[in-house]
Structure 1
Amino acid sequence: MNFNIEPISTQIEEALQQKIDTKTKPLGSLGKLETIALKIGKIQDTLSPALNKPAILVCAADHGITQEGISPFPQEVTFQMVMNFLGGGAAINVFTQQNNIELVLADTGVNFDFEKHPSLLDYKIAKGTKNFASEAAMTIAQCEQAMQNGAAITEKLHANGTNIIGFGEMGIGNTTAAAALLTAYTNIDAKDAAGAGTGLDEKGIAHKAEVIAKAIAKQGIPNSPLEILATYGGFEIATICGAMLKAAELKMIVMVDGFIVTAAFLAASKINVTIADYALFCHKSNEKGHALMLDHLNAEPILDLGMRLGEGTGNAVAYPVIKSAVQFLNNMSSFADAGVATEK
């Protein structure tokens, strides 16, 4: 699959920096807000950027790797949490409603037959991936279909006016898939990549790391980024990967959430490195491997609140900070406007 992602404009960078530096404040005194404002201005190639119809796409899917006892929760929790999302009772519902963000839910591979629901998109590839401890999680065709599905969802949102999009996920076992992707893409040891997930103790984490290490020893590390994603990923991760790549192609702002969503971004960046130009990393997850992912991507997260819930909650909580960056750039007076002296 090819995504034509153009590098963001650098021609406007000097003018943007000048606008930021001449606001009524000491140089650099708004910290990360200035960095965010500069990046958004470059993405949109304007001195007056706007955030239109923000959306968060939450993709749900099940994972065959749960057969290896890598989660303290049963697989049924995936569909139960999707029902919770549809009922409005999850954390992501609360935070998207609070911040006027559109929440889009997609079944990309849950092991459950949902009745048709106006708030649930049906992009189910299969009822969960295969167990990657013994075989590839999905075929190349399934992986490409999931990515195409994600791209289609992004295109529809963009056509409706959305220019900033975040991503969330739900899937028992997906921290194991994300850790396996981290190991396969970066050669980071499975012992360092594997974390507590939904609440494993030290013994459980060690078992998870062993499962990943044995799987990679058996399956090997394929030559292409797409094959790695198909071998060790999840349907929700592949769908998000495709959605992110399409968002960057459409020059949208891509909000990156925690461990699993960053794994999708890691895959996307291996497919097309230019996607990094369009990304805002919203928070640092407390999931063990996330800091290693961020370091590998040379990414600085906006928030570090000790969160590790997933669902896209880091995106939703960080969005007001992103909004503040755009607001100061557009509405704060310059020294000249305010008649404030800049030197003695």
Structure 2
Amino acid sequence: MAIEELEQKLKDVIMSIPAYDTDAAERARRHSDQLTKPPGSLGKLEEMAARLAGISGKLWPDLSRRAVIVMAGDHGVCEEGVSAFPSAVTPQMVMNFLHGGAAVNVLARQAGAEVVCVDMGVAAELSHPDLISRKVVYGTANMAKGAAMSREQTLQAIVAGINIAEEKAKQGIALFATGEMGIGNTTASAAIASVLGGLSAELAVGRGTGTGDEALMRKIEVVRKAIAVNEPNPGDPVDVLAKVGGAEIAGLAGVMIGAAANRCPVVIDGYISSAAALAVARLAPGALPYMLASHLSHEHAHGALLEVIGLSPIIHLEMRLGEGTGAVLSFHLIDAALQLMTEMATFDSAGVSKG
């Protein structure tokens, strides 16, 4: 597609996102209040059930078919020494996902979820029958010296994510989770959070894969430099993703938009996924009600980032792995919320006096 067609495709999909069904959500809340418990006593589980009703337009949607979309891409900013791991780990971990050996694979099997692995911008040739290749770059350029990607490449990545969500929804997937792999992507995410979320570089930058104090300070300076060099426009999220983002981050933004357009809830993983979610909240506000925040990452800026987006995490386990692990873990709580609403007795059916 030419860049004009990509821009139009993105605009059309954003315009097609259905409105959140507030009536269905309210019906779910009224039903919850009739169950044999004090009103609100199941806390976030009750609100989650109501959100899922509002998203789907159905009182209790069937979310048994679910997938975690794990997008991978390399980052040229690793040249600046911002990661404790070499870029070679990205393609190695992609193959680990495809062979079923990563943490997200284990947790996805436990949750009955499909793992969909997508090469958005890995700086290596990868081949596997289960790999979806939508490579728009062989690793981004070093954002400390110039734009990470062109606008056209960024739009290609976003539209690829939209298309994958659309294809999976047509295949019956009703619940999505976001995951990623890309050495250096916490640096890109920090830059996105700083530009779009108004967070200082000191707050936005965390240790990522475990960088030491000296590397942390270098990472903060790299984020400052990348923003100064590229001058990304905070009023144009695509420009921000292009200049200081990554192919996998843009792809995840597309998945979130595509899921919303197909009336599917999408569970956001940790810091990198939340950076993509922030871009989506600015680009397509209608997609925001379709997002559920899975967990509070151990990355110290994640809480501030979620607050900027307007999302509240479901769990807090001090995780910082990425891959979609926190999002997939949250599937169990989503199942619990729906099962409680469908299987609990009401005061009338159980013959219990209501206070």
Contact 1:57 1:166 in 2 (8 A): yes
1:178 counterpart = 2:207: no
> CA–CA distance in 2 between the matches of 1:14 and 1:69?
51
SS of the residue 1:195 aligns to: coil
Task: Give 1:65's match in structure 2, choosing from 77, 82, 89.
Answer: 77
Deviation sequence 1:233-271 (CA, Å, 0-9, x none): 100000110111011011100110000011111111110
Aligned partner of 1:218 in structure 2 is 229
Task: Spell out, residue by residue over 1:147-195, the C-alpha distance to the aligned partner (whole angstroms, 9 max, x if none).
Answer: 1111111111100111110110000000000000001112211011000
Q: Distance in 1 between matches of 2:25 and 2:102?
A: 40
Corresponding residue for residue 136 of structure 2: 125
Query: Are 2:227 and 1:207 equivalent residues in the alignment?
Result: no
**Residue deviations 1:264-301, cap 9 Å, x none?**
11111110112111111000100122111011112110
Could you say which residue in structure 1 is the equivalent of 2:275?
263
Matched, 1:24 2:17: no
Counterparts of 1:239-318 in structure 2, within 5 Å, are 239-318=251-330
Aligned residue number for residue 148 of structure 1: 159
CA distance in 2, matches of 1:68, 1:188: 22
Matched, 1:89 2:101: yes
Q: Distance in 2 between matches of 1:80 and 1:13?
A: 43
- 1:191 lines up with 2:195 in the alignment: no
1:232 to 241, 244, 248: 244
Partner of 2:58: 46
Normalising by the residue count of structure 2, what TM-score does the alignment of the two structures yield? Answer: 0.94
- Offset of 1:322 from its aligned partner? 0.7
1:5/1:249 contact within 8 Å kept: yes
Matched, 1:138 2:158: no
Structure 2 contact 232–244 (Cα < 8 Å) conserved: no
- For 2:17 and 2:60, how far apart are their aligned partners in 1? 22
**Native 8 Å contact 2:25 2:59 kept in 1:** no
The alignment partner of 1:55 has SS state of: strand
**Aligned AA (1:263):** A
Instruction: Tell me the residue number matched to 2:349.
Output: 337
Name the residue aligned to 1:164: 175
Structure 2 distance, partners of 1:58, 1:159, is 19
Task: Return the offset for 1:67.
Answer: 0.7
**Unmatched 5+ residue regions in structure 1?**
none
| AA at the equivalent of 1:290 | H
User: Structure 1 length normalisation: TM-score?
Assistant: 0.97
Q: How many correspondences in the alignment?
A: 342
What are the superposed Cα offsets for residues 110-160 of structure 1, whole Å, 9 maximum, x if unpaired? 111112x12111111121001111111101110010011111111111001
CA contact (8 A) 1:49 1:330 kept: no
**How far is 1:47 from its partner?**
1.9
Query: Which amino acid is 2:83 matched to?
Result: S
For 1:146, what is the secondary structure of its paired residue? helix
Shift of 1:87: 1.8
RMSD: 1.0
Quote how far apart the aligned CAs of 1:49 are. Answer: 2.1
In the alignment, which residue of structure 2 is the partner of 1:112?
124
Supply the distance in 2 between the matched residues of 1:58 and 1:143 (Cα, whole angstroms): 17
In structure 2, how many angstroms separate the alpha carbons of the residues matched to 1:110 and 1:129?
9
Distance 2:344 2:72 in 1: 41
Amino-acid identity (%): 41
Which stretch of the first structure deviates more once superposed, 59-68 or 199-208?
Answer: 199-208
SS of 1:288's partner is: coil
Hey, what's the Cα distance between the residues in 1 that align with 2:27 and 2:91? 49
What's the secondary structure of 1:12's corresponding residue? helix
Q: Is the 8 A contact 1:181 1:233 kept in 2?
A: yes
